[in-house]
Structure 1
């Protein structure tokens, strides 16, 4: 396997790893990386922890999502503060230098299901979140 898991941070590529494009990883490898990142986003969204929520974002994603906007979302969105942790993995889409991992997401307060989308890729040798949303 070409990745190391860090208990306190994102996945890091090994030195000399020729596979610098995430789309070259198997579905199982991508799922093993994405699932804990998705769960961490859900947990931090529910708890309104902005700093923890954005810690694995790419630099461009972190710049685009400022603390005021995120704080407003956490404070005013019933969905963003009440997501269940039992989401269902649906699949992976590979495109360019990124993968999109799809989840079926539920809320503990709102009836129905949402499509969760997590976009992952490499930045400075580390796997980062380039997009995360619920539809």
Structure 2
């Protein structure tokens, strides 16, 4: 199954709850719950020490506005990139949130996630 073959609505039914969980667990600093939908490939590439430091020291990653502002989808290969406008509860401005989804062993998984 290829996720890019699904309709926008079908993808968003999956993407929005995954994004909401990323924001919620980032704000709470709950690393184990934050990564629970990551692909095996992404988990192998993570530097857990650096990610742990980010959770502990990043003002942005611990103070994200939970209300999501969806911007669009980008389909490429076997993955879809979901874009969100991200705001902070403590810092003025806006950031771009990106989450890359695809199938792994029959389940939708997160292959990348970032805010910049």
- TM-score after normalising by structure 1: 0.84
Task: Please point out which of 103, 112, 116 is paired with 1:131.
Answer: 112
Q: What is the CA deviation profile of residues 49-95 of structure 1, one whole-angstrom value per residue up to 9, with x for unaligned ones?
A: 11101110000111112331211000110000000101200110000
The 5 A counterparts of 1:93-104 are 93-104=74-85
Q: Name 1:53's counterpart in structure 2.
A: 34
- TM-score after normalising by structure 2: 0.97
**d(CA) in 2 for partners of 1:63 and 1:30?**
25
The 5 A counterparts of 1:22-37 are 22-37=3-18
Q: Which has the larger radius of gyration?
A: 1
CA RMSD of aligned residues (A): 0.7
The answer for unaligned runs of 5 or more in structure 2 is: none
- Following TM superposition, the consecutive aligned residue runs of length 4 or more in structure 1 with deviations greater than 2 angstroms are none
Q: Name 2:51's counterpart in structure 1.
A: 70
In proportion to residue count, which structure has more helix?
2
Task: Please point out which of 62, 68, 82 is paired with 1:87.
Answer: 68
Q: Report how many aligned residue pairs link the two structures.
A: 116
